[in-house]
Amino acid sequence: MQIIENDIVKEKIYIEELDNKLKVIIIPKNTRKKYIVWSTKYGSIDNKFYSLNNNELVCVPDGIAHYLEHKLFEQENGKNSLDVLTSLGVDANAYTTNDHTAFLFECTENFDEALDEFMNYVQNPYFTEENVEKERGIIEQEIMMYKDYPEWELYMNTLKCMYKNNEINIDVAGSKESIALITPETLYTIYNNFYSPENMVMVLSRRFFA
């Protein structure tokens, strides 16, 4: 285990790599609030990669990282894990950036029950033609909503001017045209290539000692 200590704030960070290669970072805090974030190194810029199965080049539609983030909450039993976590009094969310996707929650109570649900939905994807299609309209509305924000349009146009030939100029949510190409098969391809313990990091902050 690696320990990093900051003498100024009087805090320590404990870093451990588990047997399955998942990196876990623990930050003890003397507070009632508990916080956890679990992220994978896959974001909007990763629209081309070599498959772990056969080393062939795979090209996927823009916006698929964000689409997958949305779909992981839906479970085979028909429940939405975000609703389950909310019912436990947990503030849960997720986000996608250019280079990573993260799932998180914070709470003061019911941490163990929330952690069980958290671990379950991130590790058990369930994609069907029906539930993937249902999400398409929701994400289309999100894309159109951001087009009404002048500051977002300015930001994206600035990126396109500065990085004409770099994937960083891709909108994290993709476009209406690109997300129309997303299927359950492409979502499983992304999940199987990037949502593995050796490509993920978990950070946990809570009270560990009495």
Is the Cα torsion angle 137, 139, 142, 143 positive or negative in sign?
negative
Using CB atoms within 10 Å of the CB of residue 194, give its burial: 0 to 12 exposed, 13 to 18 middle, 19+ buried.
buried
- Among candidate residues 38, 2, 39, the one with its CA nearest the CA of residue 17: 2
| Measured distance CA(170)–CA(62) in Å, rounded | 7
17 catalytic residue (yes or no): no
Rounded to 5°, the CA angle 128-130-133 comes to 105
Largest Cα separation within the chain, whole Å, is 54
Length of the chain: 210
In 7-149, which residue ranges form alpha helices assigned H by DSSP?
A: 64-71, 81-87, 111-123, 129-147
Is the Cα torsion angle 85, 86, 89, 95 positive or negative in sign?
positive
| Measured distance CA(98)–CA(39) in Å, rounded | 13
| Measured distance CA(60)–CA(191) in Å, rounded | 12
Catalytic residue among 69, 76, 117, 153: 69
Cite the active site residues: 69
